[in-house]
Amino acid sequence: MHSGNISIIGKPNVGKSTLFNLLISRHLAGETSKPQTTRHRIDGLLHENEVEYMFVDTPGINFNIRKDFNRILNKNALSAIYESDVILHLVNYNGMNEDDNKVIENIKDIESPKILVLNKIDRDKNKNRLPKILSKLPMDIVSIYDEIIPISSKNSENIIQLKNIIKKYLPEKDGNDFQEIISTKPSEFFAAEYIREACIQFLSVEVPYGLHVEINSFNEEEKLISISATIYLKKNSHLSIVVGKNGSMLEKIGTHARINSEKLLNKKVYLKIFVKFDPRWKDSESFLNTYI
Ligand SMILES: Nc1nc2c(ncn2[C@@H]2O[C@H](COP(=O)(O)OP(=O)(O)OP(=O)(O)O)[C@@H](O)[C@H]2O)c(=O)[nH]1
Ligand SMILES: [Mg+2]
């Protein structure tokens, strides 16, 4: 049996979480069109054809805007690569830039096998371009990787091939490494993440970066799970935006989070969400470290 950890890393918004969810066939990680959606490492198990793939989605590595915030996200992402049996470096198929090069700087000396994954090839209307793009990748970049594969996480192109490549590099073990779990993260974590994902999806750009979600209580009964959560805001002025006219935005956020929680947990979910201004943001460094 082949078994091991596979981390998915890259700059923000290249499709890491979309690929992760596709590989494990579950919606565990938030996917949105906005960068810096993922804040934590999230693992998810795929047990298929005598192979245990423990995939790890990570926050986008970024050294530009929002410095405090990035430092913590980068730390969360980079810590994953040291525990990986295989590293997937995800980039946009149509070219790499300075931000991708910074990711390369961080992985190039790590011994684990590295696979360069060129994502979003469904956007390539002129299919002849791909060989050209591949042939133009600089040699010093190509030489870092053990394999290079173009894929589309949107329409599942080359995903079976990607899994076969990963398998080649996973260590062989005698027994199962992982229990039959979905993820090592608890259900509460995902309930909070679905609320945060909805906030990122439905609210304008700056608001979601100044909020975090905590679960107040999580009570599981035979047929129903009752969850109480609070959205904590950095700015008092964001309160009315998150709640919306007559509570309409909060209702939209709640519906998204409830439906996704029900799918994951396979039970009816009763979800109550509070929204509060959080003065703890004042000391943003220690706040982010603790509550991100
Ligand atoms: N066309 C196309 N869009 C994709 C593909 N994969 C992901 N996307 C889109 O790219 C955007 C970003 O996807 P995410 O999966 O959230 O990206 P991420 O790398 O996890 O982003 P961060 O967590 O912010 O670092 C979303 O709008 C996705 O729908 C793909 O293969 N093709
Ligand atoms: Mg993500």
Question: What mean pLDDT do residues 160-179 have?
Answer: 88
- 212-250 per-position pLDDT tens digit: 999 999 999 999 999 999 999 989 999 999 999 999 999
Highest mean pLDDT among 97-101, 155-159, 210-214, 283-287: 155-159
Confidence tier at 192 by pLDDT (50, 70, 90): very high
From atom 10 of ligand 1, which residue's Cα is the shortest distance away? 15
Going from N- to C-terminal start, the domains of the chain cover 2-169, 187-291
Q: Using the predicted structure, report yes or no on whether residue 269 has a pLDDT greater than 80.
A: yes
Centre of ligand 2 to C-alpha 37, Å, is 5
pLDDT of residue 206: 81
Element (H, E) at 132: helix 129-136
CATH of span 2-169: 3.40.50.300
Residue ranges lining ligand 1, Cβ < 6 Å: 12-18, 31-33, 35-38, 59-60, 119-120, 122-123, 152-154
For ligand 1, pick from 9, 13, 89, 201 the residue to mutate: most ligand atoms within 8 Å of CB.
Answer: 13
Q: What is the model's pLDDT at position 177? A: 65
Measured in Å, residue 86 CA sits from the centre of ligand 1 at 21
Q: If you average pLDDT over residues 107-123, what whole number do you get?
A: 95
pLDDT at 131 over 70: yes
For residue 40, is pLDDT > 70? yes
Nearest residue (by CA) to ligand 1, atom 11, is: 33
Using pLDDT thresholds of 50, 70 and 90, give the confidence band for residue 188. very high
CA of 230 to the centre of ligand 1 (A): 27
| pLDDT at residue 288 greater than cutoff 90 | no
| pLDDT at residue 176, as a whole number | 67
Annotation: CATH topology of 187-291: GMP Synthetase; Chain A, domain 3 (3.30.300)
More confident residue, 71 or 220: 220
What rounded mean pLDDT belongs to the chain? 92
Share of the chain above pLDDT 90, in %: 74
**What integer pLDDT is reported at residue 132 of this predicted model?**
81
Q: Is the pLDDT of residue 283 over 80?
A: no
